[in-house]
C-alpha cells in the first residue's frame, strides 16, 4: 500500500509542475493581434456611456429580458402596456417589493441625499454583488435601509417589513428571491427614472458602489471640484451602469476566447499534444503570458481612444474607459505576480495533498473491509494471553520459564535447538543460536 500511495503522490506532482512552457514569437503576435482586434471592437462598438444612441441595442435586449421574466412571473400586458418595459418594471417592483427601495431624500427623513437617478448607486441593497445580497437580506430582516453617502455608511429605519415564510430558512430564501427579482426589475432602470424619459438609470456594476466610500480627491468636473465618490456618482448618472458594463464586456470576452482557442488549436495540431493537455488553464505559463499581452493591448487602445476623444474632459474620458477590461487586466497581472512569487502554489499543493490523503484513506479503508475480524481475534488471543502472563512475571526465573513456554505456543522454534536446558546450551562452546 505504501508504494502505491507514493506513486500517486509522484504522479500528481508531475501533473502539477510539468507546465512550464515558454512563449515563442508567434504566441506574442497572436496575443497582440487578438488584443488589437478586440480593442477596435471596443473603440467602434462600445464607445462611450454618454452615447445614448449607441446603447439602444443593449438597452433593447435588457428590456426584452425584463419583460420575459415579468411574463414568467404572471405579468399579462394588455393594450398600451404590450411591449412596455415600464409596465413590466412596475409589476416586478410591486410583486417583489423591498422596504429599502427609497428614491427620494424625504423617504429617509433627509438623512441621505437621494434622487431617482442616484439611489441605485447609494443604496447598498441595490448592488449586484455579494455585498448587495448581504445588505438586502439584512435590511429585509431588520426593517432598515443602508446607504453610502459622503463616504460613510448610513442606516435608517423603515416601516416594518415582514418576510414571507414559516421559519428562518424559508424567510431567508424569500429575502434572497426578493433581492434577485428586484435586481432584475431595476437592471433596465427603475420605474421612476424611466418615467422621466430616456433610458433611465439602471443598477451599478458589481462592487462599483464601493467608490462611494472614496470621499477624497479633488477632480475638476465642468468647472467644479468633486471627490472620487462624487465623480463615480456623476459617471453612473450619465449612463455608466450595468447595461453599459454588459456591452463593455464583449471585447474582453472576445479577446480571452480568441487567445484560448488559438492556443488550444496550436498545441493540438502543431505540437501534436493529446486533447487533455490542450485544455486552456492557468497551469500553462505561455497561455497566461498571452492573456496578459492580449488584454494589455486591448487596454492600451482603449485608453488611447478615451484620451484622444475626451477633449480634456474627465467625465468624457472615464465614460469611454472600459472598466471591465482594466479590471480584468489587473486581475490577470495580480494572479501572475502571485504565481511567480510562489503565493498561489502552496495553496494548490495543499489541495493536492488533501486529495492524496483522501485517496490513501479510501484505499486503507477498503483493505480494512477485507479483514476477517473473527479470524483476527483468534490469532491475537494467544498473543494477548502470553503478554498478560509475561506482565505478571515478578522474577527472572519466572520470566525465563514464561518465555520457554510461550515459544512452542507461538509455533516458534527455540534458537538453541532441541536442547531443553538453555544453561547447558550456553556451556557448550560449539553451540550456535539459530533464529528463524
Q: Let me know if residue 368 belongs to a domain.
A: no
199 and 336 together in one domain: no
247 and 222 together in one domain: no
Q: Let me know if residue 118 belongs to a domain.
A: yes
77 and 111 together in one domain: yes
Q: What angle do CA 315, 153, 180 make, to 5 degrees?
A: 80
Task: Give the pLDDT score at 20.
Answer: 47
The residue out of 349, 364, 390 marking a domain boundary is: 349
Q: Let me know if residue 399 belongs to a domain.
A: yes
Its domain, for residue 422, covers 375-427
CB 322 within 8 A of CB 251: yes
109 and 37 together in one domain: no
122 and 269 together in one domain: no
62 and 155 together in one domain: yes
Per the structure, the count of domains in the chain is 3
Task: Give the pLDDT score at 423.
Answer: 67
**3-class SS letters over 185-236:** HHHCCCHHHHHCCCCCCCCCCCCHHHHHHCCCCCEEECCEEECHHHHHHHHH
Q: Let me know if residue 21 belongs to a domain.
A: yes
Q: Let me know if residue 354 belongs to a domain.
A: no
One digit per residue, the tens of pLDDT, for the chain of length 436 reads 334 434 344 444 444 434 446 888 999 999 999 999 999 999 999 999 988 777 888 889 999 999 999 999 999 887 777 778 889 999 998 999 999 999 899 999 999 999 888 999 999 999 999 999 999 999 999 999 999 998 999 999 998 888 888 899 999 999 999 999 999 999 998 777 777 777 888 999 999 999 999 999 888 888 889 999 999 999 999 889 999 999 999 999 999 999 999 999 998 888 888 888 888 888 888 999 999 999 999 999 999 999 999 888 999 999 999 999 999 999 999 988 888 887 665 556 666 667 777 777 887 777 777 777 777 777 677 677 777 766 777 777 776 777 677 766 666 766 666 655 666 666 777 777 666 6
67 and 185 together in one domain: yes
The residue out of 237, 252, 280 marking a domain boundary is: 237
Q: Let me know if residue 434 belongs to a domain.
A: no
135 and 231 together in one domain: yes
311 and 327 together in one domain: yes
Q: Let me know if residue 151 belongs to a domain.
A: yes
Task: Give the pLDDT score at 301.
Answer: 97
Q: What is the CA radius of gyration of the chain?
A: 36
CB 73 within 8 A of CB 92: yes
Name 146's bridge partners: 155
Task: Give the pLDDT score at 184.
Answer: 94
Task: Give the pLDDT score at 6.
Answer: 41
Q: Let me know if residue 33 belongs to a domain.
A: yes
The residue out of 218, 237, 256 marking a domain boundary is: 237
100 and 167 together in one domain: yes
101 and 226 together in one domain: yes
230 and 260 together in one domain: no
Amino acid at each position: 500500500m505504501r508504494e502505491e500511495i507514493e506513486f500517486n503522490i509522484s504522479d500528481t506532482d508531475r501533473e502539477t509542475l510539468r507546465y512550464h512552457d515558454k512563449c515563442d514569437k508567434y504566441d506574442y503576435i497572436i496575443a497582440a493581434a487578438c488584443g488589437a482586434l478586440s480593442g477596435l471592437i471596443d473603440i467602434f462598438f462600445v464607445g462611450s456611456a454618454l452615447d445614448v444612441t449607441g446603447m439602444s441595442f443593449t438597452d433593447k435586449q435588457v428590456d426584452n429580458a425584463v419583460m420575459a421574466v415579468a411574463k414568467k412571473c404572471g405579468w399579462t400586458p394588455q393594450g398600451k402596456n404590450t411591449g412596455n418595459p415600464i409596465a413590466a418594471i412596475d409589476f416586478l417592483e410591486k410583486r417583489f417589493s423591498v422596504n429599502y427601495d427609497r428614491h427620494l431624500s424625504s423617504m429617509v427623513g433627509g438623512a441621505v441625499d437621494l434622487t431617482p437617478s442616484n439611489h441605485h448607486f447609494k443604496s447598498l441593497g441595490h448592488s449586484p454583488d455579494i455585498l448587495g445580497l448581504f445588505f438586502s437580506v439584512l435590511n429585509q430582516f431588520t426593517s432598515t435601509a443602508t446607504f453610502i453617502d459622503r463616504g460613510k455608511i448610513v442606516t435608517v429605519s423603515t416601516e416594518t417589513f415582514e418576510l414571507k415564510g414559516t421559519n428562518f430558512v424559508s424567510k431567508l430564501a424569500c429575502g434572497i428571491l426578493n433581492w434577485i427579482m428586484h435586481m432584475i426589475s431595476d437592471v433596465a432602470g427603475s420605474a421612476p427614472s424611466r418615467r422621466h424619459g430616456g433610458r433611465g438609470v439602471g443598477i451599478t456594476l458589481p462592487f462599483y458602489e464601493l467608490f462611494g466610500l472614496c470621499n477624497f480627491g479633488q477632480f475638476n468636473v465642468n468647472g467644479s471640484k468633486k471627490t472620487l465618490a462624487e465623480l463615480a456618482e456623476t459617471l453612473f448618472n450619465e449612463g455608466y451602469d450595468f447595461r453599459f458594463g454588459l456591452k463593455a464586456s464583449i471585447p474582453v470576452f472576445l479577446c480571452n476566447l480568441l487567445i484560448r482557442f488559438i492556443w488550444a488549436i496550436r498545441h493540438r495540431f502543431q505540437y501534436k499534444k493529446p486533447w487533455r493537455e490542450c485544455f486552456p488553464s492557468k497551469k500553462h505559463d505561455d497561455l497566461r503570458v498571452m492573456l496578459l499581452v492580449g488584454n494589455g493591448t486591448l487596454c492600451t487602445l482603449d485608453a488611447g481612444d478615451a484620451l484622444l476623444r475626451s477633449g480634456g474632459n474627465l467625465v468624457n474620458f472615464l465614460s469611454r474607459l472600459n472598466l471591465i477590461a482594466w479590471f480584468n487586466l489587473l486581475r490577470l497581472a495580480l494572479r501572475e505576480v502571485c504565481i511567480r512569487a510562489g503565493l498561489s502554489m502552496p495553496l494548490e499543493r495543499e489541495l493536492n495533498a488533501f486529495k492524496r490523503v483522501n485517496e490513501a484513506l479510501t484505499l486503507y479503508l477498503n483493505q480494512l473491509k477485507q479483514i476477517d475480524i473473527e479470524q483476527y481475534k483468534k490469532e491475537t488471543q494467544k498473543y494477548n494471553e502470553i503478554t498478560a502472563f509475561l506482565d505478571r512475571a515478578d522474577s527472572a526465573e519466572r520470566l525465563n520459564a514464561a518465555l520457554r513456554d510461550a515459544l512452542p505456543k507461538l509455533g516458534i522454534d527455540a534458537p538453541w535447538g532441541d536442547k531443553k536446558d538453555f544453561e547447558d546450551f550456553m556451556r557448550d562452546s560449539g553451540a550456535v543460536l539459530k533464529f528463524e
